[in-house]
Amino acid sequence: QQQVKQSPQSLIVQKGGISIINCAYENTAFDYFPWYQQFPGKGPALLIAIRPDVSEKKEGRFTISFNKSAKQFSLHIMDSQPGDSATYFCAASNNNDMRFGAGTRLTVKP
């Protein structure tokens, strides 16, 4: 069964809007939560990551919100741009065991 559940499967946002992608996990041993961004024809690349000792991490327009008690975390993309159109994967890791969500295809319309 999937250890990391990601939603929505696809998302369409207008330019300048906020994109929100949610993930939930089961294994409380996970201690590293990255988000990967994948453009067509490319491999996934690390976008931003968080550890469970903080509730939020922000890098530019990208923010991870983390709720340890609910075992949920989310990616917020502020002021979404057409160049953000890609597939986003959340993941959860414990040591070298990394589990990925199913992915969200984000389309930002100009």
Partner 1 sequence: DVKVTQSSRYLVKRTGEKVFLECVQDMDHENMFWYRQDPGLGLRLIYFSYDVKMKEKGDIPEGYSVSREKKERFSLILESASTNQTSMYLCASSYRVGPYEQYFGPGTRLTVT
Binding site for partner 1 (CB under 8 A): 2, 6, 9, 32, 34, 36, 41-46, 49, 89, 93, 95-96, 98, 100-103
Strand duo 45-50 + 104-109: pairing: unpaired
Select from 32, 62, 30, 66 the least CA-distant residue to 47: 62
Give the nearest distance from C-beta 23 to partner 1 in angstroms.
11
- 54/83 Cα distance (integer angstroms): 29
Which one, 18 or 45, has the nearer CB to partner 1? 45
Smaller CB distance to partner 1: residue 44 or 77?
44
